[in-house]
Structure 1
């Protein structure tokens, strides 16, 4: 199979075209978010190239010295902020992604090969990969079930736990409108199988947890929690694990040494910047707005004739909405195509709990981060509905979307501090001017 030759000119053209398009687009994919320009800065700099293994700053362990001047940005910024906002005593920032964090948690806490782990059935929103990853690690898998896609059957959970005595209950919600009641589940686990650990994968809820908008799993009694940092939290594509238990922390550190080498120090520093912005520049307000905007947008779409799941329960307790566009006569892929032409990006997918076929999954997390407010939601709902029905020219709708896209958003000090902004721009310009001699013409 032949491929076209792509030159550096082509690369810059494609990137420029994408940036121009992105600047006019509202991304409503619930598993994605944006972050500030300042938080992106480390990805351009020397730190992107460096290993970092010496968390304890031992003089005889600087085998990789390139990160020696950067240690405080992981150990004095990112880790303490995660401990503070996550209400944890111990944190690891080694995982590279949500799936990598899942693998680390299962490998650490799931027991020896042949042990049993219990996780959420995909029909109730559990992640598609959890059973496969667990089985590849030699673990047996049983499922928590529910009366409907949004609730667990706690009586079934108690019976299951008493019967199989799992090493771990891994609570994961990949598709989620309402959070699992972790406190109630922990009570069931402690009564039915006291030696079983409980880990909560809060990837989709992470920003809401750090803001205190939904309960912290550690406060609810879980032994550990974690997940990716780019869904409801506006950070880099990375992941973390948090706990208050020293033995769990020790076991995680032992396991991660054999599963993760480079943990992408630049992304860890980006995460620290995003956490600092989140704590000091409106993170809690943003998280509350995400939940409020999601409920409101669900109602507005429903009022305009779109079938929105869980209308009887207020549509959502987080950032996601599920739309049954097929029930309204529009196939989910066609719905996605029409919305994309109008400058709105959504998911269409199989596997949404309660759907016989595909559904449309949308999120208000990134639009809220971009500055969409409650006052903007009727206009967004109008554009969204007209696009779904193909009831107005797509280019006109795309112009309306672009006007919604260009709003003030969650602030960071660099945005209003001219000297700081100038320094950041100098660093970025220096990185772009850097060109290794090996690539210079002879």
Structure 2
């Protein structure tokens, strides 16, 4: 059967999408951008290679394609994760947040028939956690609370004491405010001392590494995982961190048969992104994400869009939830109008506290791209005009393209985020002195 899409179609569609991406702005909270230099390994030979010999044992180089680059994982990515995550043990094997979830449940959830406790969907728990756990032969019970962002610790104490779970898996997926991990850990320890507590910090991970959120390991959690492409501006991947050597060994014993290729080039890209994050303003970026999110919630509220959790300052992190149904506009219609204006957002059911669908947005990528100050006012004006359909979409798209143009080339125009601008400056000498790297990087630099 002949393919209906030709190679010419592929190139054309990719080019069209790239043009739209450079003129538009993603506000999907589970996505982020990354620098050109951190994407570079995925264009080069490491993308095709396996890497298994973490110990650098001379007899274990069964796959030799990564041998010269072994230090980029073991002496760059892993030590930076230990440093920024304040963890002695790190796994970079998971391919995504869901891959990390599966690994942790398989490693720490116990034998078939063991019970794991996780957060109820109406309190923000991830939709996939119970299904993955049950497919691994585990029983599932739910932590619940009186509101979408609080847990009932009395209920948690009773539940944990009664079922004695092997693992409490804290899986906030839909989240505006983090739960109190320290209080939950104290509750679990008192009710069932042998129960482990794992925190899936995927949405918060960049805020944790940047110090804007408290590290769950400091709060007493036994382990933490996170995807590296939401609030952290890195590749689509995930990691597991712990300070407990026994837990680390259980994860390693399990990952050997759950994950084969861990996408070595992405792991190198993660190391570059971590280096940029540490040395080029990651902490400032994390604080700016939180500040921009709260400010943008207020700006939208002032422009007649109903924003959830107004009474609590809209958000403690990077997400905002918009109840456009309350404003007489179906979420899909709002999303379509925003897309026509060059803004990409989520609309979905299942947001805690929403009877139907809502619009979910994030300020993580706009902050990474460099929007700040009056840019946020302009963004809010365009956003509200698109939702309320008060201006032609082509005019609004032009205004968003102008915003992106001011931030796109960073150091050249002086309007990018400090993290991205400083990262560009850091790698400038390397690009100038290596023609091969320079030519490759120019393709993806922006």
Q: TM-score range, shorter-chain basis?
A: over 0.9
User: Match of 2:65, SS?
Assistant: helix
Q: Structure 1 unaligned segments of length 5 or more: list them.
A: 434-442
- CA distance in structure 2 between the aligned counterparts of 1:238 and 1:268, rounded to whole angstroms: 8
- CA distance in structure 2 between the aligned counterparts of 1:383 and 1:169, rounded to whole angstroms: 43
Residue in structure 2 matched with residue 440 of structure 1 by the alignment: none
- CA distance in structure 1 between the aligned counterparts of 2:102 and 2:122, rounded to whole angstroms: 21
Residue in structure 2 matched with residue 272 of structure 1 by the alignment: 271
Residue in structure 1 matched with residue 432 of structure 2 by the alignment: 422
Spell out, residue by residue over 1:337-389, the C-alpha distance to the aligned partner (whole angstroms, 9 max, x if none).
Answer: 00001111000001101111110000000000000113311111110000001
Q: CA deviation at 1:430?
A: 6.4
User: TM-score, normalising length from structure 2?
Assistant: 0.94
Are the equivalent residues in 1 in contact too, given 2:234–2:270 (CA < 8 A)? yes
Residue in structure 1 matched with residue 23 of structure 2 by the alignment: 24
Alpha-carbon distance change, 305 to 142 in structure 1, aligned in 2, over 3 angstroms: same
- CA distance in structure 2 between the aligned counterparts of 1:116 and 1:424, rounded to whole angstroms: 55
- CA distance in structure 1 between the aligned counterparts of 2:34 and 2:26, rounded to whole angstroms: 13
Greater shift in the superposed pair: 409-418 or 156-165? 409-418
Q: CA deviation at 1:7?
A: 2.4
The total of aligned residue pairs comes to 432
- CA distance in structure 2 between the aligned counterparts of 1:205 and 1:86, rounded to whole angstroms: 12
User: TM-score, normalising length from structure 1?
Assistant: 0.95
1:33-52 superposed matches below 5 A? 33-52=32-51
- CA distance in structure 1 between the aligned counterparts of 2:400 and 2:311, rounded to whole angstroms: 29
Q: CA deviation at 1:12?
A: 1.5
Residue in structure 1 matched with residue 172 of structure 2 by the alignment: 173
- CA distance in structure 2 between the aligned counterparts of 1:350 and 1:92, rounded to whole angstroms: 33
Residue 126 of structure 2 is aligned to residue 105 of structure 1: no
Alpha-carbon distance change, 430 to 220 in structure 1, aligned in 2, over 3 angstroms: closer
- CA distance in structure 2 between the aligned counterparts of 1:423 and 1:111, rounded to whole angstroms: 52
- CA distance in structure 1 between the aligned counterparts of 2:128 and 2:314, rounded to whole angstroms: 26
Alpha-carbon distance change, 371 to 351 in structure 1, aligned in 2, over 3 angstroms: same
Are the equivalent residues in 2 in contact too, given 1:126–1:174 (CA < 8 A)? yes
Residue in structure 2 matched with residue 63 of structure 1 by the alignment: 62
- CA distance in structure 1 between the aligned counterparts of 2:424 and 2:397, rounded to whole angstroms: 30
Residue in structure 2 matched with residue 291 of structure 1 by the alignment: 290
Residue in structure 1 matched with residue 347 of structure 2 by the alignment: 348
- CA distance in structure 2 between the aligned counterparts of 1:131 and 1:44, rounded to whole angstroms: 37
Residue in structure 1 matched with residue 410 of structure 2 by the alignment: none
Q: CA deviation at 1:227?
A: 1.6
Residue in structure 2 matched with residue 183 of structure 1 by the alignment: 182
Are the equivalent residues in 2 in contact too, given 1:414–1:420 (CA < 8 A)? no
- CA distance in structure 2 between the aligned counterparts of 1:15 and 1:32, rounded to whole angstroms: 19
User: Match of 1:190, SS?
Assistant: helix
Residue in structure 1 matched with residue 321 of structure 2 by the alignment: 322
Alpha-carbon distance change, 317 to 432 in structure 1, aligned in 2, over 3 angstroms: closer
Residue in structure 2 matched with residue 129 of structure 1 by the alignment: 128
Residue in structure 1 matched with residue 376 of structure 2 by the alignment: 377
Residue in structure 1 matched with residue 235 of structure 2 by the alignment: 236
